[in-house]
Structure formats: structure tokens, C-alpha cells
Amino acid sequence: LPRAAALTAGLAVLLPVAGALASRALVSDEAEAGTARVAVIQGNVPRAGLEFNAQRRAVLDYHVKETKRLAERVDRGEVKRPDFVLWPENSSDIDPFRNPDASAAIDSAAQAIKAPISVGAVVEKDDGKLYNEQVLWLPGKGPTATYDKRQIQPFGEYLPMRSLLHRINDSWTTMVAQDFSRGTAPGVFTIDGTRVGIATCYEAAFDWAVRDTVTHGAELISVPSNNATFDRSEMTYQQLAMSRVRAVEHSRSVTVPVTSGVSAVIRPDGEIVRRTGMFVPATLVDDVPLRTSETPATRMGIAPETALVVIAAGGLAWAITRGVRGRRAA
């Protein structure tokens, strides 16, 4: 038994290491479907002094301004024109479907850069439900496609046990006055011929929310986020690390447009090739490789994890059974 236990422990250590080394050959930055020139916009946010509604408008204006600044650089020949532009989550908390001024501001940015923009908006549908939505905006045409965030964040986008919390302390429920609703369909935008998978902020932490964009044809993954409320904490770096894992997991380039930083462009091998600072307006433009092949992680999904859980549960059951039998025999 001691030898068997030692052998099992050794295999438990060596097999994952061997698997990791063997899978290194699967990691590639080859542009299987060409490249796309992508612009990631970080407009920044006001630091303080603005009441909430004014701050929402300021954030939108900042992203419009930064996009127009990029357009001026393109017109001067300093930067090549991007194929499309990616704005972060909450870059327009003013609903562009219900507010003509927000719609006009977004369209002015799209027409200035002469490229489609994926805009992060808070949208109220006709049924009164609220959604954290990515909106694909074409210059002069307006919104042509949308993606509603599916994995919404507890205590940030909805309150679990709202009625109970309200009875305990009604001021607690004011931090999320209205719960967001969940989307139902994977987010894959076809932008200028490129299929871009969308996983909004918190969704990057969930295997399924990223994987199904790739299984639905995404050649590139984008993780639009809003980390402004976390200030300069480690949270933004943790989320950036998650995005690097997703890049390697599915062998896709990943863009991370964030309102206040750190925004980044990540290669399929997990290397960060471009990044911004925090709480500064910035733009990243990069030619990213597009890929279409599927990794074992993409094809198998949670099957390996399920198998490991079953094996672990079987081992635990075996150990408990042997222990019970041993005590009875004694």
C-alpha cells in the first residue's frame, strides 16, 4: 500500500507536468486567417467631483474624444486606419437607443475614424429590463448587432436576496437600484469580415462564457471591461491574467479594452504585446493574428475536469470504504 500510494502521488505530479510540456507544441501565433488591425480605446473616467449622471456623460465623451484623437493621427498618416475599434464595458452608460445625444456622439466618433465601433452600453429594452450590452455601431448606419452579457455579477449588476437585504437595511439595495437581466445567446460580432467573440468583464472568469464564442466561430476574443470602481487595486491585474489564460486556452488573440486600465492586446501564446497605464486616456493599435483551429480545451470543454472530479470522488469513496471495513474487522 505505501508503494502504491507513492506511485499514485508521483503520477499525480508528473502527468500534469508531462501534459503541459507536450501541449506546448499546440501553442502558436500563426495567423491562420490573416490579421485584423484593431484599435483598443481607453477613454478614462473622471476622478471625482461629478454627480452620477454627469459622470456617465463624461465617460462617453472621453471615449468619443480619444477615438477622434486617433482619427486625427490616422489622417496625418501617423497611424494606419484600424479595421474596427473596440470600446470598453460601460463606455456609454447613457442608453444610445433612447438618448439621441448619446447616439449622435457615438456616430460622430465612428464617422471620424471611418470604422465600426463595438460600444459598451447600458440598455433598457421595451419590456423595462436592463441589460449590459455590447453594441456594434457602423458609421452613418448606427447599431447593427448587439450582445447582452450573460454572466452578470452579484452585488454589482444584481442583488441576490434583494427583499431580504431590503428588510435588513434598505440603504443596501440602493447600490443596485435595478437588477440587470441576463442575455441568452453567445456574443460573436462579424466586424469587417472578422468574427470577434465577446466576453464582457466578469465573464472572462467562466470557461463556458469564453469557450462558446470560439465554438461559434470567433477568430479573436475581446474582453471589454470596466475596472474603474476598483481603483488601483490588484483586481485589474487579476482580470488581465484571466484574459491571458483564455488566450492560451483557445489559441486566440485577446483584446482587453478597459475604461480606466489596464487595457491590453494579448497574443495567442499569452504574451502581452501592448498595454496601457491606469487612469490615463490611451489607444492601442495592433495587427492581431486571427485563428480558426480549435485546441483540445475548446473541443473538450469541461470533460477533462468532470473526469478528474469523478476519479477524485471514486478515490475518496474507495478510501472511506476501506477505512470503514478496516474498523469493522478490528
Torsions phi, psi of 32, nearest 5?
-70, -25
Which residues have C-beta within 8 Å of that of residue 53, sequence separation ≥ 6? Answer: none
Please give the Cα distance from 284 to 117 (Å, whole number): 14
Residues with catalytic function? 89, 149, 201
Q: Classify strands 142-148 and 130-138 as parallel, antiparallel or unpaired.
A: antiparallel
Q: Are strands 84-86 and 35-42 parallel, antiparallel or unpaired?
A: parallel
Cell of 11: 503520477
214 contacts 197 by C-beta, under 8 angstroms? yes
Burial call 15-52: b when 16+ CB within 10 Å, e when fewer: eeeeeeeeeeeeeeeebebeebbbbbbbbbbeeeeeee
What is the distance between the alpha carbons of residues 201 and 38, in angstroms, rounded to a whole number? Answer: 19
188 burial via Cβ count (<10 Å: 0-12, 13-18, 19+) = buried
- Residues near 87 by Cβ (< 8 Å), separated by ≥ 6? 41, 43, 63, 67, 117, 118, 119, 120, 224, 257
Closest of 241, 244, 266 to residue 253, by C-alpha: 266
Give percent helix, percent strand, percent coil of the chain, each to the nearest 5: 45, 25, 35
Burial class (CB in 10 A: 0-12, 13-18, 19+), 294: middle
Pseudo-torsion of CA 226, 228, 230, 234, nearest 10°? 80
